[in-house]
Amino acid sequence: MHDRLYYVRGSSRVIDGSVGTLLARQGVCRDYAHLVIALLRALNVPARMAAVYAPGLSPMDFHAVAEAFIDGSWQVVDATRLAPRQSLLRISTGRDAADIAFLTNHWANLTLLDLQVLAIVDELPTDDFQQQVQLR
């Protein structure tokens, strides 16, 4: 998937689904994760979404990845390949982006004025994408 899609900030809306991401061949981390989850589930592989801190991501921000249940454990799948999987720190886990949102607004007049996220690793590992990795 990493070689078939383009990571384009602002390319999707919160209501876009996996089919739209596949057809547009672009999206953000949430879109990549939703598409991975949809494809895994179509193959009868249990899959879920995780919100993570991602040291190495530039600029530093929350990041969404998929997890697949393989050989008795949850393995992280980050189709964006924007940060080493070994450095990811779990914030929350759920079925999809609605379950892992850091803020939900139910028709209130809210304005998020500032948000800063910082996660630091002394030295970022090199990610071997052929290896299985579990989130902490």
Q: What is the pTM of this model?
A: 0.85
Please list the residues that pair with 123 across neighbouring strands.
none
Q: How do residues 16-41 score in pLDDT, each as one tens digit?
A: 889 989 889 999 999 999 999 999 99
> Which CATH number fits the domain 6-100, given the four candidates 3.40.50.300, 3.90.1170.20, 3.30.1300.10, 3.10.620.30?
3.10.620.30
Strands 6-7 and 26-27: parallel
3-state secondary structure of 93: strand
3-state secondary structure of 65: strand
pLDDT band at residue 95 using 50, 70 and 90 as cut-offs = very high
Q: Which of 64-78, 92-106, 112-126 has the lowest mean pLDDT?
A: 112-126
